[in-house]
Chains A and B, each alone.
Chain A
């Protein structure tokens, strides 16, 4: 029953309403704390404005060298055109260093807010299909547009994730509609904006190869050529000019700085956290038992210094190992995509790939959890199970972003954001999957995918979830209040470490859950 949405008009207006409300709140957040990423992006803007293209990737005026792919540099170039009108100093490579005048701040913040238009449009596109009721649409829009993680990372901490994720969602929405060519094209564009999104490339490749390039040898090959040339065209547009100037090596060198360590300064809550902790525990207990263990000289975050390993007991981890682990972790979903490429699973597969990249990747930043939390929002209403999983995941992901904002004045804001988000999720999910004993069909109104009819469509948190969330609360209270009382100034790293480990448990749960759902799906 594909009832076309009765009248489209109010719905198009519909998405703008939450978006505008969000924009108003984002405006209010303009004076909040901004990280060095602000200066990073300002510098790129100045860099692309004042230097010729051939020097973009070789300039070293500031330590914040350009390390995003060319499309992002073009984007900064585009912004710098307006920036130089607003405040010429901010677009000057040398005079602009560490420059943050009020107009410059306003300009940069507004550019983030405006670029979110892509995200808004993408979330509208994603929910256009007939299988969403009004309330569902609204809920999804608000999960995406109002995501506290995005607000924290983009509009306080400062970055442009909103519009990059918008491009990703756009690509997913095309794939779900079966328009594979344009979906692949958009993804190629995304890769040329930020190469971290490449983690999902294997999924895209397998899916497009099996879903798009089928229908016989000739037709399949023809389509492969079409798709290949589309992708190549995008890459040529991005890297061509640098190729022309003989800069391509330099570009790649800047984009993949493997000199960094396994973990970021604050440990992203991923699998390697457990590995590090295990190593520490082993070393500690072996020393107690009388073995002579050398304390490691290198740090996990600082990169590989010479030959020394940051681990005392366990074997050291190299980028190659993380790469192989990620591929291995993704492989079950590649097999699924190969066997049965179906559009409706594609967003789950992509999110799963990003989850693997986040958990097992090299030098992962905690912000990367947005790469799968945001796309999963769109599928969170497929079943009560999905909703439940999304409920934990987005809380964990948002909580793991808390350390990004460490100043006192933002503290209540981030807490209120998370509370509000959880409340809305809780009320939204429990009204879409109500408690009453129903046999069918409340899950997705008019949906195509009521496969799991045997599962009672009820949203509940469950004892594990309650227990986990309670633990989250305890960790937060410990970190904010008790730690100072108990230990004073000692062990300042402990609260952050606890947040990291605890969130990592939640992330691992989410990964296992996704893996299970993907292997069980037909």
Chain B
């Protein structure tokens, strides 16, 4: 049923007109019109119900660490946080003590996550006290722990969707955003709450795109305080807002207003820890786990990929590694930041978000596979304008997470969601607007790359690697994805800069007029 949603009103006739029996409408025209022709609410309702259905179905599958004592997995981590936050006073949440063993899934996200766990835990305590009892509940598994905060994500997407183009394309676009397979797999399969911080980010982007900068920065600060990973977006937010303020009449005033909002939000969220410097440092040290090394597992970023040739961990100390990765990250973010400051356009902002978060993914310290979700989010917001890049990014993001998901026994939902994404992407639409894709060179490249990735999937599933290199295939997948991400990053950076050239021309013309 959901299929309906897929949209695409044919450009020509809104068939529904009740005129005389006309010649049959073009077979391809506007088959989804019966959903899309009504109000925005109707198709949004259908799409989001479908998205909920998919999420519910995915959550039937195993989650990370199901039935694997002693440490279980991310599901247990979330549950443990509820246990901690419900039973201990706020100040002790991040402190190692006899009742709070930080070695066992200590809270390592910012305070907002703590508050959310607290709320959620309180609720759970009401229904099932055993699940959050201190200590005794470790490894407790039940379906009760499952709460779907994606609603937040939906609602924000809904509002962010509002201002754009015609309904049927919006419907398709909304599907692309809501049925992002990577996010569903990580949040509902692997089990995490990325949808909250990502939803807040979408809301922030939407607010900023509709010129409510203050609201936008408030929301973004909340996102930042839910998962520190949202910092990947910070450069783009900063650059865009800064650039926009500079264009205003009174830059200083605008900037200080934004600054106040940001500081205020932070102060509010961090209030319980602000009483002493120690308190703040305690939390901060939990948030930045530098002791875990520059990379873990086989994540498709620069450090991990090049470590095959260069043994970074041996060559440098953690301290210098930190500096090195910081420099690399900042320098790769710079081009897009500069572009944003110089000409802050809406499209540039979205491109900048992708570019900055990709640089972070590729070069920052201690990146996890799931961090690829961050570049995907703005890419999905641009799915309509840049369908090609979006699709490309999704395919390889999925591939890069494949080893992780396989460990969680999520191959089946992985395959189903992969297929679903391809199907929805190529949903029959009225128009043939996809035909004139991007350069054919890229299309060929895409086909070749896609074939490779299919091949890799099959190999990875079916062939046991040689004893000497047990992680051979993971490494191959990683290198392959890394190369794709770098390509995407370069391509998108050029797109963003091309924007300056295009937009500066009309601008200068206007000035001349």
Contacts and interface: CB of A to CB of B under 8 A. Distances in A.
Interface in B1-50: 1-4, 15-16, 18, 20-21, 23-35, 37-38, 42, 45-46, 49-50
A139 B428 CA distance: 14
Interface in A45-80: none
A28 B58 contact: yes
Interface string B416-442: 110110011001100000000000000
Interface string B52-82: 1110111111100000000000000000000
Contact of B49 (A25, A135, A419): A419
Interface string A423-451: 11001100110101010111001100000
B423 A442 contact: no
Best-surrounded residue of A5, A410, A427 (most CB of chain B within 10 A): A427
Nearest to A106: B412
B291 to A, nearest CB: 37
B448 interface: no
Best-surrounded residue of B27, B33, B35, B57 (most CB of chain A within 10 A): B57
A416 B423 contact: no
B424 A21 contact: yes
A248 interface: no
Contacts of B423: 17, 20-21, 24
Contacts of B54: 25, 28
B46 A25 contact: no
Contact of B53 (A133, A417, A424, A436): A417
A409 interface: yes
A408 interface: yes
A431 B33 contact: yes
Nearest to B15: A135
A315 interface: no
Interface residues of B, number: 51
Contact of A24 (B32, B34, B59, B420): B420
Contact of B3 (A11, A21, A431, A446): A21
Contacts of B1: 142, 146, 420-421, 423-424
Given A18-B3, A30-B412, A24 B419 contact: yes
B3 A134 contact: no
Contacts of A106: 412
Contacts of A32: 57, 60
A133 B62 CA distance: 43
Nearest to A141: B3
A3 B143 CA distance: 54
A65 B23 CA distance: 56
A488 interface: no
Nearest to B424: A21
A142 B4 contact: yes
Interface string A1-39: 101011100110110011011011101111110000000
A421 B29 CA distance: 23
Interface string B498-510: 0000000000000
A138 interface: yes
A412 interface: yes
A413 interface: yes
A421 B412 CA distance: 25
A425 to B, nearest CB: 8
A420 B46 contact: yes
Contacts of A27: 412-413, 415-416, 419
Contacts of A138: 3-4, 31-32
A28 B416 CA distance: 6
Contact of B34 (A13, A139, A408): A139
A294 to B, nearest CB: 45
A441 B34 contact: no
B2 A21 contact: yes
B46 A427 contact: yes
Nearest to B144: A408
A139 B62 CA distance: 34
Contact of A6 (B27, B46, B58, B419): B27
B27 A10 contact: yes
A25 B3 CA distance: 12
A445 B19 CA distance: 11
Interface in A441-463: 441-442, 445-446
A10 B29 CA distance: 11
Nearest to B49: A420
Nearest to B50: A420
Contacts of B31: 14, 134-135, 138
A136 B1 CA distance: 13
A25 B57 contact: yes
A411 B359 CA distance: 42
Contacts of B415: 27
B42 A416 contact: no
Given A142-B3, A427-B35, 10 more contacts: A10-B28, A24-B419, A25-B53, A134-B28, A135-B33, A416-B53, A416-B56, A421-B1, A427-B38, A438-B18
Interface of B: 1-4, 15-16, 18, 20-21, 23-35, 37-38, 42, 45-46, 49-50, 52-54, 56-62, 143, 412-413, 415-417, 419-420, 423-424, 427-428
Q: Which 7 A-B pairs have the closest CB atoms?
A: A431-B34, A28-B57, A27-B416, A424-B1, A24-B420, A438-B18, A146-B1
20 contacts: A5-B27, A10-B428, A21-B3, A24-B417, A25-B57, A28-B61, A31-B60, A32-B60, A106-B412, A134-B25, A135-B31, A138-B3, A138-B4, A420-B46, A423-B1, A427-B38, A431-B35, A434-B16, A438-B18, A446-B24
